[in-house]
Amino acid sequence: MRDNQKWVLSLIIAGNAIASPLSFAASHCQIIYDAGSSGTRLYIYQQQGEDWIAHPGPTAAALADPVRGIRGKSWCDVNAVVNEVVGSLERIKQNGPLDDDGKPQWSAFDWSTQCQLDSARVLATAGMRIAEQSERKKSAKLWKKLKAKLRKEVGDDVMIDTRTLTGYEEGLYAWMSVRQTQPNNRFGIVEMGGASSQVTFHCPDCKAAETIIVNGKPVSIYSYSFLGLGQDEAPKPQALGMTPSCAYGVGLEDDNWTVNSCATDIHIKFAEGIVDPYNVGPNGYGTYNDIPTDKADVVNWVLTGAFQYTSHNDINNCCLSKGECYQEQTACFRAVYLPKYLKVLNVCSSQKVDSSWTYGATLCGATDCLRDSGQLQCRWSEKGCLK
């Protein structure tokens, strides 16, 4: 799980070079695609001084869709999806189409002339973890096609990395992004995604913590990703499941309904630990894990991801009535599930911070922050990480 040494060396040289002023054309860039479960979003990060400025680009189809055969895609669409993803690099050179407010959906950035490109990475998250579980060979073919197409687009001198992130990395990168808002390393995050949820925190006393490098110093970080506990996957029967007691507007049908009516039907923690629906354990797919939050060296906890969109009115709007709610079918379930999940984790926090794991990945790549970590696990596969 190490970054290419040649690429790291080039970034170190680039970092030293900022001691003298850089012209705009001489700045360095990293391309990172967020290959999520709902789409593949392009970001180009441009070095400016000691920071990296994001240039968001178009969103293409989700890589996992043709592999999993979902959202109207089949394996026959794999070449079209690969072409669309790589084609975003050409599309970002021009302003995007206008949105409802009359503004471009993205601002033009010609990476081929405005900076020196050091790396191009397509990094997938939970959607591709699920795809690799069920369709390992097809997933391997997809990654091979994508890497070859990307190589033709960016040239032979650019470091390319196309793969599915480990759960540890996904949580770590979000943590590194949030760190820019924190006074020190003594904080933790709980990130809620669509298919997975990450819990990451400073923990010198955790045996499962890994050593990462932050500002040139070693830091012990624990990070774990529950595959299947994301807010979109959790209500599905193969994950936690959702009973009628958690239905949208259930309170209109049941005068005796309370939050506990739904909460008692959401079974998150067992004697073995917190359920981890889709990751692999000793008995195959589906396992458990205890998060050692009692050992966390944390002054404050930060909530990110879907937690940012929660409101104290969610129960009234989505359970006790049929108000305006996102994804109505599971809206009441989410309103109850997210607070119960935090309670099970023993995390009490009202601080919500936006995070960008792609920004965290850029920071980590530029400093080789994982160089002292151990071998990171692809927990979603019995056969380990795809080569």
Q: Give residue-wise pLDDT tens across range 321-342.
A: 999 999 999 999 999 999 999 9
Q: What percentage of the chain carries pLDDT values higher than 90?
A: 89
Torsion of CA 83, 88, 91, 92, to 10 degrees: -170
17 pLDDT more than 90 = no
Residue 26 pLDDT grade (very low, low, confident, very high; cuts 50, 70, 90): low
Q: How confident is the model at residue 19 (pLDDT cuts 50, 70, 90)?
A: very low
Confidence (pLDDT) at 1: 46
Residue 107's identity, in one-letter code, is S
Give the pairing of strands 217-227 and 187-192: unpaired
Stretch 245-266: mean pLDDT, rounded? Answer: 97
Read off the pLDDT band of 15 (50, 70, 90): very low
Q: Is 284 exposed, middle or buried (0-12, 13-18, 19+ CB in 10 A)?
A: exposed
pLDDT of residue 349: 86
User: What value does the mean pLDDT take over residues 257-282?
Assistant: 97
Q: Can you give the pLDDT at residue 50?
A: 83
Mean pLDDT of 311-328: 97
Q: What is the pTM of this model?
A: 0.90
For the segment 93-147, what is each residue's pLDDT rounded down to a tens digit?
999 999 999 999 999 999 999 999 999 999 999 999 999 999 999 999 999 999 9
Asked whether 161 and 121 are in contact (CB, 8 A), the reply is yes
pLDDT confidence tier of residue 226, bands split at 50, 70 and 90 = very high
Q: What per-residue confidence (pLDDT) applies to 12? A: 39
Please report which helix (H) or strand (E) contains residue 342, including its range.
Answer: helix 328-345
Q: For position 23, what pLDDT does the model report? A: 42
pLDDT-derived band of residue 387, with 50, 70 and 90 as boundaries? confident
Alpha helices in 115-209 (DSSP H): 126-134, 136-154, 167-179
Question: Is pLDDT above 50 for 11?
Answer: no
Query: Lowest mean pLDDT: which of 2-6, 210-214, 327-331, 380-384?
Result: 2-6
8, pLDDT greater than 80: no
| C-alpha closest to that of 149 among 228, 83, 94 | 83
3-class DSSP state of 249 = coil
